Amino acid sequence: MLQLARIPPQSVLPHSPTTARHLSLLPAAAPLPVVQQLEQLEQQIRSHKGLELHADWLNEYLDLGLEMACTAGQRQLTALQESWLTRLYNTLRDAALNTSLPSTWRQLCLDYLYQPFFVLSHLYREQPGRGLRLRALVHEFALLSRIG
């Protein structure tokens, strides 16, 4: 099992029948504000139009997402861990390929893409039967590296 870092146990949100459905895909220790913060950063990353580069957005986004993936891994929720990592990778990849965004922003997103790529590739190497996903990921990353 891939473990990114040791994270102290966090408090669990109380689950009502209404929120249980919405939180069923989250690790038990994930407070909803963190998920909302992650979603807000995703929206900012995908739609940034300004000339100013916000590396702080990317750093915070990766910190939050990698923490969520790590928590899922510690709880032996490998599919959820993979889902968080894939979400990070796809958000940065999509922003890097979006030609309506400023080229400097697209390049910065591409520069940060290696972090979720690195962790995802290690996760796939540790799991039996993930060779096809690993090869596809490595191939895609190699192609993306050429456009940068």
Which CATH number is 98's domain given?
Answer: 1.10.730
Does 16 reside within a domain? no
Give the model's pLDDT for residue 22: 41
Residue range of the domain that includes 57: 29-147
Does 8 reside within a domain? no
* Maximal C-alpha separation, the chain: 48
Does 50 reside within a domain? yes
**Phi–psi pair at 96, nearest 5 degrees:** -65, -30
N residues, the chain: 148
pLDDT tens digits along 16-36: 333 343 444 555 555 558 899
**Phi–psi pair at 67, nearest 5 degrees:** -65, -40
Question: How many domains does the chain fold into?
Answer: 1
**Token pair of 77 as six digits:** 């929720």
Q: How far is CA 145 from the centre of its chain?
A: 19
Does 7 reside within a domain? no
Does 14 reside within a domain? no
Does 22 reside within a domain? no
Select the more confidently predicted residue: 2 or 78: 78
- CA angle at 144 for the pair 53 and 104, rounded to the nearest 5°: 20
pLDDT tens digits along 74-98: 999 999 999 999 999 999 999 999 9
Does 100 reside within a domain? yes
